[in-house]
A and B are shown apart, each in its own frame.
Chain A
Amino acid sequence: MISFVLIRLLRAVLTVLLVMTFAFFVLRLSGDPALIMLGPDAPTEAVAAFRAAWGLDDPLWRQYLSYLHGIVTLDFGVSMRDRSPALDLVLERIPATLALTIPALILKVAIGIPAGVYAALHRQSIADRGVILLSVMGFTLPSFVLGLLLVLVFAVQLGWFPSGGQDSWRHAVLPVLTLSIGGIGILARFSRSAMIEVLGQPYIRTALAKGVSWRDVVWKHALPNASVPIVTIIGFMIGSLVAGAVVVESIFSWPGVGRLLIVSVANRDLAVVQAILMVIAATMVLANLCVDIAYGLLDPRLRARTTAA
Chain B
Amino acid sequence: MTLVRIRDLRVAFDGVPVLHGINLDISAGETVGLVGESGCGKSVTWLAALGLLPAKARITGTVETAGSDLVSGGRSVLETIRGGRIAMIFQDPSSALNPVRRVGQQIAEALRLHRGLRGAAARAEAISLLDRVGIPDAARRLDLYPHEFSGGQCQRVMIAMALAGQPDLLIADEPTTALDATIQAQILALLTEVQRETGMAMVFISHDLGAVGAVCDRVAVMYAGRIVEEARREPLFAAPRHPYTRGLFDAIPRLDGPRSRLVPIPGTVPDPKNTPAGCAFSPRCARATSLCASERPTLLPQSDGRALACFHPVPAATLVSREGVFA
Contacts and interface: CB of A to CB of B under 8 A. Distances in A.
Contacts, number: 78
A298 to B, nearest CB: 7
Contact of B83 (A205, A210, A220): A210
Interface string B78-96: 0111111001101010011
A-side interface size class: 20 to 34
Interface in B107-158: 109-110, 113-114, 145, 147-148, 158
A40 interface: no
Which residue, of A201, A203, A220, A304, has the highest number of chain B Cβ atoms within 10 A? A203
Contacts of A300: 99-100, 145, 147
Nearest to B50: A209
Contacts of A218: none
Contacts of A201: 95
A196 to B, nearest CB: 12
B-side interface size class: 20 to 34
B100 A202 contact: no
A214 interface: yes
Contact of A205 (B75, B90, B114): B90
Given A205-B52, A301-B147, A304-B147, A210 B99 contact: no
A299 interface: yes
A284 to B, nearest CB: 27
Interface string A219-249: 0110011000000000000000000000000
A206 B96 contact: yes
A299 B145 CA distance: 10
Contact of B82 (A208, A299, A301, A304): A208
A105 B101 CA distance: 29
Contact of A213 (B79, B95, B158): B79
Contacts of A205: 47, 52, 90, 96
B35 to A, nearest CB: 22
Given A211-B83, A300-B145, A206 B98 contact: yes
B98 A225 contact: yes
B165 interface: yes
A208 B79 CA distance: 8
A212 interface: yes
B165 A211 contact: yes
Nearest to B85: A211
Interface in A162-188: none
Interface of A is mostly: helix
Contacts of B95: 201-203
A210 B98 contact: no
B113 A210 contact: yes
Contacts of A212: 79, 83, 109, 113
Contact of A211 (B47, B90, B99, B114): B114
Interface string A253-285: 000000000000000000000000000000000
Contacts of A221: 98, 101
Contacts of B51: 208
A301 B147 CA distance: 7
B59 to A, nearest CB: 15
A43 to B, nearest CB: 69
A81 B50 CA distance: 74
Which residue, of A206, A211, A220, has the highest number of chain B Cβ atoms within 10 A? A211
B200 to A, nearest CB: 15
B115 to A, nearest CB: 11
Contact of A208 (B52, B80, B109, B145): B52
A202 B96 contact: yes
A24 B313 CA distance: 86
A207 interface: yes
Contacts of B148: 304
A127 to B, nearest CB: 15
Contacts of B80: 211
A25 to B, nearest CB: 44
28 contacts: A201-B95, A203-B98, A203-B99, A206-B98, A206-B158, A207-B98, A208-B51, A209-B50, A209-B88, A211-B81, A211-B113, A211-B114, A212-B83, A212-B109, A213-B75, A221-B98, A224-B100, A224-B101, A225-B98, A298-B100, A299-B99, A299-B100, A300-B100, A300-B145, A301-B99, A301-B145, A301-B147, A304-B147
Given A206-B96, A210-B87, A304-B147, 10 more contacts: A205-B96, A206-B97, A206-B161, A209-B82, A209-B87, A210-B109, A210-B113, A211-B113, A213-B75, A301-B147
